[in-house]
Amino acid sequence: MAVTVTTFDKMKQAGDKITWLTAYDYSFGHLLDQAGIDAILVGDSLGMTIQGHRTPIPVTIDDSAYHTACVARGVENAMIVGDLPFGSYQVSKEQAYENAVKLMQAGAHVIKLEGGELQNETIEFLTERGIAVCAHIGLTPQSVHKLGGFKVQGRGESAQRLLDDAKGVQAAGACAVVLEAVPRKLAAEITEMLEIATIGIGAGPECDGQVLVLQDMIGIYPSKSPKFSKNFMSQADSVGGAIEQYVAAVKAGEFPAAEHSFN
């Protein structure tokens, strides 16, 4: 059965953990779909995992649309989340709409964009025009240079800003929000506060769902994987088996464990 934004709402209410992974091509899209993943994120992380850049910033909207279309051809049930890359939505809400349309025409069901309060007007503009939007707050990789690197966000006085961002994106109409590299206690507070689903990546097990970069999860990314990731291939006999282990671990609340979370 196809996963929709309504599915996310029902899963949150039922306490059923939501599973996400990234994919960028037909073969892995099909493999993830067959393994029962709830959502596939065609992330701008492709700039690092596929293109070999140090950050996702060089990724273009044409790159994102191409890889979204590749994944979509292999998927029957999972939700496909298309990522708006750096520079494709920050100029105006009209620019965001134009590029969101490109991703939807390529096969995306939901559009993800980074940023909290600053993007509320854009989120509202898109949702009013029939586009489902997933927000992304905390560590926002497209702002890595401004943030001073890939660092945990929301510690100390900045925690209130993330709480406000979470409330704001929900009020603007977002159907879900990714929380990246956020202290576990704060992520739990945000999850409890919101009606929409929270998808954690380095944000602790209390989030409504989890997402990892596929190349980290199967241990093939050449650089060191982040603290919040886990190599599920180390105890699996196939890539498909590793993906199934990931799905089972998230559903059972076994991943992420304490060592994959931040205090």
Q: Kindly state the tokens that stand for 250.
A: 């998230």
Q: What letter represents residue 250's amino acid?
A: V
Active site residue 124: no
DSSP assigned state of 85:
P
Which residue among the candidates 114, 180, 189, 206 is catalytic per the annotation?
180
Q: Which residues of 36-70 are buried (b: 16+ CB within 10 A; e: fewer)?
A: ebbbbbbbbbbbbbeeeeebbbbbebebbbebbbb
53-56, Cβ contacts within 8 angstroms, sequence gap of 24 or more: 55/141, 55/144, 55/145, 56/85, 56/86, 56/141, 56/142
Q: Where are the domains of the chain?
A: 5-260
Q: What is the CATH number of domain 5-260?
A: 3.20.20.60
pLDDT digits (tens), the chain, 263 positions: 899 999 999 999 999 999 999 999 999 999 999 999 999 999 999 999 999 999 999 999 999 999 999 999 999 999 999 999 999 999 999 999 999 999 999 999 999 999 999 999 999 999 999 999 999 999 888 877 676 656 688 788 889 999 999 999 999 999 999 999 999 999 999 999 999 999 999 999 999 999 999 999 999 999 888 889 999 999 899 999 999 999 999 999 999 999 999 98
pTM as predicted: 0.96
In this structure, the number of other CB atoms found within 10 A of the CB of residue 240 comes to: 13
